[in-house]
């Protein structure tokens, strides 16, 4: 067992804009977070991952940073941040900051300088190219629709932006830029923060010559030329030598398009790069051939295959991160569970399913309350740049059907996860005394933290119990994973083994009861049920051959 604190931890992600507003301007802020630290401590989380709080014009809600060493006015001040760090540490919790260095804001001083002239000292901090035949330098599309290039009149060249045109990509080939980034990281770590979540960190190295995606389309997905690019491991190893290795911290890299063989390099056991990465493979199971908005139903069979592949392939070679939602993904209970009749049962089932796997679990704010997706009738009620760009391209310019696209937004839109946290049943769910920047989900009277913390059978307390179990049993952290009941159409079941102990995890992913026959060497009769999402009444016999709708049970065999 290679014991590490970041393997034993549970991380809680805060999207500050939507977490808690302390000053009534309708926008969550750092003081708001501080006011809820006891809530997080009671839940039992070890690490808080804070989505970006740096200075930003908010084209992409803080993922477009104009000053890495200052705080966004709407969120507060550096003193507030220092206070947050201090108060987290006083409670025995840690702080992981978001590091967004694939791109900056176009309002960052580096870019303001870079666009002035071709010979500006900062020019090479970004990726500039002349046009080709009166068009963009290549045919890549951005993650947020349209070309990944923007023409800049001043110097008559294009700059690359894999996200919005206000998020120009940084040129990692430039050693001076890399040094500036490392210095900035050290500055934060010297302050005492405990780690970084690295935004799309596997996009920092682009293929030599920036070739167009093949097939001759005017605009096309060029991911093969910028995901897991040629120098990415070299850069991360350098970052590790220069910065990360000097501190006892936790690092997780967001890595779209990374395979398990990429992952065992990024998250290698020798610790030369990062501790773990976020895979997207399970998040892509409900996307059709045309990508995210081309929604298709996900299949349990595929979920088993993908999750198990990551468990097996990283065993002994790396470390997994475990998540089912975040600020970019729809709400887990709406996507993989049932957000109506079985909302509570399925939220607990999904939590069990995830927290019992091998890896570090991440909880996204409101997940512990079973918060759900939202349906806004009006496109104007959405805020997300990804949604608006896509809507403009497909409906306003492309003539596609409005209601079909709205349906896709209901299932996949990022704002599903960004509606304000539902604290209580007062106006605006207790999130703000003003007008919230994004409307509150109208179900807040039924689903909120005040209700959850007053009900010992709530999803919140179920998470608390799951987290406690992790502290109690090594096997939950370090046990080896094995899939069982592979062909079962309703149940996702697996075991974890450590020394002479075995954990059996049974989760029903459907709203019908599900019968099962366990492998012959597993006998539940003498096993201890350590957690389950249905109350077992005194003297009641639990059916050892059947699960109720969305039932989850975890047994410890000795
Ligand atoms: C991934 C972040 O999680 C997402 O919110 C953001 O839009 C992009 N990277 C660009 O920074």
187 contacts: CB under 8 Å, gap ≥ 6: 69
CA of residue 270 to ligand 1 center, whole Å: 28
Q: Each residue of 44-75: pLDDT tens digit?
A: 999 999 999 999 999 999 999 999 999 999 99
Q: For ligand 1, which residues put their CB under 6 angstroms from it?
A: 60, 63, 100, 163, 199-200, 254, 327-328
Q: 109-160: which CATH architecture?
A: Alpha-Beta Complex (3.90)
What is the distance in angstroms between the CA of the first residue and the CA of the last residue of the chain?
19
Class of domain 480-557: mainly beta
Q: Each residue of 246-283: pLDDT tens digit?
A: 999 999 999 999 999 999 999 999 999 999 999 999 99
| Selected catalytic residue, list 169, 254, 415, 551 | 254
Q: For residue 538, what pLDDT is reported? A: 83
CA of residue 221 to ligand 1 center, whole Å: 17
The atom of ligand 1 lying closest to the CA of 162 is 10
The full set of domain ranges for the chain reads 5-103+175-459, 109-160, 480-557
**Identical fold between 109-160 and 480-557:** no
Partnered with residue 544 across adjacent β-strands are none
Summarize the confidence of residues 326-336 as an average pLDDT. Answer: 98
Q: 5-103+175-459: which CATH architecture?
A: Alpha-Beta Barrel (3.20)
Q: Which residue has the tokens 């990429």?
A: 262
Summarize the confidence of residues 186-197 as an average pLDDT. Answer: 98
Q: Where are the beta strands (DSSP E) in 228-309?
A: 250-254, 276-278, 287-288, 291-295
CA of residue 349 to ligand 1 center, whole Å: 28
Q: Which residue CA neighbors atom 8 of ligand 1 most closely?
A: 63
Confidence bin at 219 (pLDDT 50/70/90)? very high
CA of residue 59 to ligand 1 center, whole Å: 11
Summarize the confidence of residues 507-512 as an average pLDDT. Answer: 98
Query: Is the predicted pLDDT of residue 444 greater than 90, yes or no?
Result: yes
Confidence bin at 537 (pLDDT 50/70/90)? confident
Specify the DSSP element, H or E, that contains 7: helix 5-8
Q: Each residue of 349-390: pLDDT tens digit?
A: 999 999 999 999 999 999 999 999 999 999 999 999 999 999
State the Cα angle at 189 between 74 and 61, rounded to 5°: 30
Active site residue 82: no
Summarize the confidence of residues 237-244 as an average pLDDT. Answer: 98
Q: What number of other Cβ atoms are within 10 A of residue 179's Cβ? A: 12
Q: For residue 536, what pLDDT is reported? A: 85
Active site residue 528: no
The atom of ligand 1 lying closest to the CA of 386 is 7
The pTM of this model reads 0.98
DSSP letter for each residue of 389-454: HHHIIIIIIT---HHHHHHHHHHH-GGGGTSPP---SSGGGGS-SS--SSPPPGGGGTS-HHHHHT
């Amino acid at each position: 067992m290679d014991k590490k604190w970041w393997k034993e931890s549970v991380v809680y992600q805060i999207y500050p804009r939507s977490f808690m507003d302390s000053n009534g301007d309708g926008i969550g802020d750092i003081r708001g977070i501080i006011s809820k630290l006891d809530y997080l401590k009671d839940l039992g989380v070890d690490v808080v991952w804070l989505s970006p709080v740096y200075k930003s014009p908010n084209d992409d809600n803080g993922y477009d940073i104009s000053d890495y060493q200052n705080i966004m006015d709407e969120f507060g001040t550096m003193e507030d941040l220092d206070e947050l760090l201090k108060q987290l540490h006083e409670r025995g919790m840690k702080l992981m900051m978001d590091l967004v260095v694939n791109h900056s804001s176009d309002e960052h001083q580096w870019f303001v300088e870079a666009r002035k002239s071709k010979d500006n000292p900062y020019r090479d901090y970004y990726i500039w190219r002349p046009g080709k035949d009166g068009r963009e330098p290549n045919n890549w599309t951005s993650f947020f629709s349209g070309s990944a290039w923007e023409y800049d009149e001043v110097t008559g060249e294009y700059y690359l932006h894999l996200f919005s045109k206000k998020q120009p990509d940084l040129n990692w080939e430039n050693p001076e830029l890399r040094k500036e980034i490392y210095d900035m990281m050290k500055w934060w770590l010297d302050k005492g923060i405990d780690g970084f979540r690295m935004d799309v960190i596997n996009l920092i190295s682009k293929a030599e010559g920036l070739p167009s995606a093949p097939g001759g389309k005017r605009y096309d997905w060029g991911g093969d030329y910028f995901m897991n690019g040629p120098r990415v491991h070299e850069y991360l190893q350098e970052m590790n030598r220069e910065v990360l290795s000097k501190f006892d911290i936790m690092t997780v890299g967001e890595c779209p398009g990374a395979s398990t063989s990429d992952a065992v390099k990024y998250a290698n056991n020798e610790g030369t790069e990062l501790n773990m990465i976020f895979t997207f493979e399970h998040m892509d199971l409900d996307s059709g051939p045309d990508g995210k908005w081309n929604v298709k139903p996900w299949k349990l069979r595929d979920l088993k295959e993908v999750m198990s592949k990551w468990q097996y392939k990283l065993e002994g070679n790396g470390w997994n991160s475990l998540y089912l939602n975040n600020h970019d993904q729809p709400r887990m209970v709406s996507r993989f569970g049932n957000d109506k009749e079985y909302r509570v049962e399925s939220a607990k089932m999904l939590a069990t399913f995830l927290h019992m796997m091998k890896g570090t679990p991440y909880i996204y704010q409101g997940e512990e309350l079973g918060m759900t997706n939202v349906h806004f009738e009006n496109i104007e009620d959405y805020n997300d740049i990804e949604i608006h760009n896509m809507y403009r391209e497909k409906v306003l310019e492309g003539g596609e059907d409005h209601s079909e696209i709205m349906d896709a937004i209901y299932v996949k839109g990022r704002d599903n996860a960004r509606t304000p946290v539902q604290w209580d049943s007062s106006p605006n769910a207790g999130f703000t005394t003003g007008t919230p920047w994004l409307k509150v989900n109208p179900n807040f009277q039924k689903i909120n933290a005040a209700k959850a913390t007053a009900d010992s059978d709530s999803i919140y307390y179920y998470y608390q119990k799951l987290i406690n179990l992790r502290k109690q049993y090594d096997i939950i952290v370090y046990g080896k994973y094995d899939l069982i009941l592979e062909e079962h159409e309703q149940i996702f079941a697996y075991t974890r083994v450590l020394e002479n102990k075995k954990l059996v995890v049974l989760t029903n992913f459907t709203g019908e009861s599900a019968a099962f026959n366990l492998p012959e060497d597993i006998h539940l009769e003498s096993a201890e049920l350590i957690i389950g999402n249905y109350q077992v009444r005194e003297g009641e016999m639990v059916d050892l051959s059947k699960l109720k709708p969305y039932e989850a049970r975890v047994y410890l065999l000795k």
